[in-house]
């Protein structure tokens, strides 16, 4: 019987020069884009000035006892007192922007996933600047211009972020505001974080009138959120049992994350945020071992915008398109007692 000899066929990869490319006709942007703080706060009316101001009135603490109630006797003469002082808070606006250049050739050649390089770069820069705005509205340090001349030496005008408005109210003109009307702050080592730390801070906010609708939003880094996950989960050294669910849950499901904490004073919704300093220094600009949890009510935080993302075409100096995108605005904590900060120190 005659056998047919086995001659190996040529594999496709050995003829690479003749192969067509199979490239997905799109560009995948893998940069983190979430801006949880900006996604929740209100957008107030447009700024009319680079210095934004608002007025605060504080009627005083809730009566501590019946003896503090203004009871009057029949026929008593009036003894009028002076009206209360109202306080003016303020914040500056920040200019946030950047520029790019695209050659004419690059804008005309055929590219995978991009029909127009200039349009792509403009959209890409706007998305990047949105993350810068998120970082600034939380972490920026208040500063007024020390010079009016463009490109001169001096300090650029900058908003004070939400965190500075919580921790340093005097910077925003609120030196004389009663302590009870200001934001609450506390510190605790992350390794010693306990439910009592959260309850104590929330109780202070409730006493000061900062818990308005029973809910607060909280921004945390991933490692800080893991502290909450471990805190409210059964563990060997724990002496408390926390109810993780109130509805029907599959018996096969183990739910590790804690996203909502129903405390006595308020219901707290936790959101991971890259702009907040993490317990191990992942977020923000702080050193390792310092983290924070920022509590706020979105109804009392306003984003005030003077200029939305503005595309500015720059003068041509040669064979390229030049442009910049600029945003200008500020963040206003309208009612300081509706926000608070729990710092995790020395961990």
pLDDT at 347 over 60: no
pLDDT for the residue numbered 283? 42
Q: What is the pLDDT of residue 152?
A: 60
Question: What values do phi and psi take at 245, rounded to 5?
Answer: -140, 150
pLDDT band at 289 (very low <50, low <70, confident <90, very high): low
Task: Report, as an integer, the average pLDDT of 259-273.
Answer: 92
Instruction: Please determine, for residue 239, whether its predicted confidence score (pLDDT) is greater than 70.
Output: no
Cα torsion 241, 243, 244, 245 to 10°: value is: 160
Model pTM? 0.85
**pLDDT score for 150:** 60
DSSP class of 37: H
237 pLDDT higher than 60: no
Tokens in use for 147? Answer: 């010079």
Q: How far is CA 94 from the centre of its chain?
A: 16
**Two structure tokens written together for 232:** 């409210």
* Confidence category of residue 226, pLDDT binned at 50, 70, 90: confident
DSSP string covering 189-254, please? -GGG--HHHHHHHHHHHHHTT--SSSEEEEEE-HHHHHHHHHHTS--TT--------SS---TT--
- Res. 284: pLDDT tops 60: no
Q: What is the mean pLDDT of residues 90-117?
A: 92
The span from the CA of 162 to the CA of 153, in Å, is 27
Is 229's pLDDT higher than 60?
yes
Q: What is the mean pLDDT of residues 89-99?
A: 95
In tens, the pLDDT along 13-52 reads: 777 778 777 777 777 777 777 899 999 999 999 999 999 9
- Which pLDDT belongs to residue 83? 86
Quick one: which of 326, 332, 300 has its CA closest to 51?
A: 332
**pLDDT for position 339:** 97
- DSSP-based helix, strand, coil % in the chain, nearest 5: 25, 25, 50
Compute the distance between CA of residue 16 and CA of residue 93 in angstroms, rounded to an integer.
57
pLDDT of residue 286: 44
Question: Using alpha carbons only, how large is the chain's radius of gyration in Å?
Answer: 28
**End-to-end Cα spacing for the chain:** 82
Averaged pLDDT score across all residues of the chain: 85
Residue 223: pLDDT band (50, 70, 90) is confident
- Would you list the DSSP string of 102-169? EEHHHHHS-BTTBS-HHHHHHHHHHHHHHHHHHHHHHHPPPB--S--STT-SSPPPBPPPHHHHHH-G
pLDDT of residue 14: 79
Confidence of residue 92 (pLDDT cuts 50, 70, 90): very high
What's the rounded Cα separation, in Å, for the pair 272 and 270? 7
Say how far apart CA 217 and CA 25 lie, in whole Å.
40
- Cβ atoms of 298 and 42 within 8 Å: the answer is yes
Residues 130-153, mean pLDDT to the nearest whole number: 82
**Does residue 273 contact residue 131 with C-beta atoms inside 8 Å?**
no
DSSP state of 265: S
CA distance 114 to 107: 9
Q: Which two tokens stand for residue 203?
A: 């109780």
Res. 130: pLDDT tops 50: yes
Tens of pLDDT, residue by residue over 50-85, are 999 999 998 888 888 898 888 888 888 888 888 888
Range with the poorest average pLDDT among 77-86, 95-104, 120-129, 321-330: 77-86
Instruction: Determine which helix (DSSP H) or strand (DSSP E) holds 216, and give its type and residue range.
Output: strand 215-220
CB 190 within 8 A of CB 324: no
CA–CA dist 291, 187 (Å, integer): 10
**Three-class DSSP category at 338:** helix
pLDDT at 190 over 60: yes
- Residue 210 near residue 178, CB atoms below 8 Å: no
Across 197-205, average pLDDT: 95
């Amino acid at each position: 019987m005659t056998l047919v000899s086995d001659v190996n066929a040529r594999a496709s990869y050995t003829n690479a020069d003749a192969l067509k490319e199979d490239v997905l006709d799109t560009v995948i942007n893998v940069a983190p884009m979430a801006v949880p703080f900006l996604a929740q706060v209100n957008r107030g009316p447009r700024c009319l000035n680079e210095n934004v101001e608002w007025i605060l009135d504080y009627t005083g603490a809730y009566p501590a006892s019946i003896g503090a109630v203004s009871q009057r006797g029949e026929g008593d003469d009036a003894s009028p007192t002076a009206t209360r002082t109202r306080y003016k808070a303020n914040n500056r606006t920040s200019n946030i922007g950047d520029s790019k250049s695209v050659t004419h050739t690059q804008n005309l050649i055929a590219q995978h996933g991009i029909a127009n390089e200039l349009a792509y770069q403009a959209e890409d820069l706007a998305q990047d600047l949105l993350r810068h705005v998120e970082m600034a509205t939380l972490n920026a340090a208040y500063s007024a211009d020390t010079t009016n001349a463009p490109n001169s030496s001096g300090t650029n005008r900058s908003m004070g972020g939400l965190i500075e408005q919580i921790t340093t109210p005097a910077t925003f003109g609120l030196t004389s505001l009663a302590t009870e009307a200001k934001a609450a702050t506390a510190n605790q080592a992350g390794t010693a974080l306990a439910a009592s730390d959260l309850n104590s801070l929330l109780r202070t906010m409730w006493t000061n009138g900062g818990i308005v609708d029973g809910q607060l939003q909280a921004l945390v880094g991933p490692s800080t959120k893991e502290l909450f996950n471990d805190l409210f989960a059964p563990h060997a050294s724990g002496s408390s049992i926390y109810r993780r669910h109130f509805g029907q849950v599959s018996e096969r499901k183990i739910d590790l994350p804690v996203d909502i904490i129903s405390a006595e004073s308020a219901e707290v919704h936790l959101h991971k945020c890259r702009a907040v300093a993490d317990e191990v220094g992942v977020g923000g600009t702080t050193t390792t071992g310092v983290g924070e949890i920022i509590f706020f009510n979105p109804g009392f935080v306003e984003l005030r915008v003077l200029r939305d993302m503005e595309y500015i075409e720059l003068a041509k100096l040669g064979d390229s398109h030049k442009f910049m995108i600029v945003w200008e605005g500020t963040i206003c904590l309208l009612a300081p007692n509706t926000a608070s900060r729990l710092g995790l120190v020395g961990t």
